[in-house]
Chain A
Amino acid sequence: NAGVTQTPKFQVLKTGQSMTLQCAQDMNHNSMYWYRQDPGMGLRLIYYSASEGTTDKGEVPNGYNVSRLNKREFSLRLESAAPSQTSVYFCASRHPKGEGDTQYFGPGTRLTVL
Chain B
Amino acid sequence: AQSVTQPDIHITVSEGASLELRCNYSYGATPYLFWYVQSPGQGLQLLLKYFSGDTLVQGIKGFEAEFKRSQSSFNLRKPSVHWSDAAEYFCAAHSGGYQKVTFGIGTKLQVIP
Binding site for B on A (CB under 8 A): 31, 33, 40-43, 45, 48, 50-51, 58, 90, 92, 94, 96, 98-99, 101-108
Answer yes or no: B103 CB below 8 A from chain A CBs: yes
Contacts of B43 in A (CB 8 A): 90, 105-108
Contacts of B103 in A (CB 8 A): 42-43
**Interface residues on chain B, size class:** 20 to 34
A48-B100 in contact (CB<8A): yes
Determine the residue in chain B with the shortest Cβ distance to A104.
B46
A42-B104 in contact (CB<8A): yes
Contacts of A101 in B (CB 8 A): 32, 51, 94, 96
Interface residues of B in 60-109 (CB under 8 A from A): 90, 92, 94, 96-98, 100-101, 103-106
* Set B51, B90, B97, B105: member contacting A40, Cβ < 8 A: B105
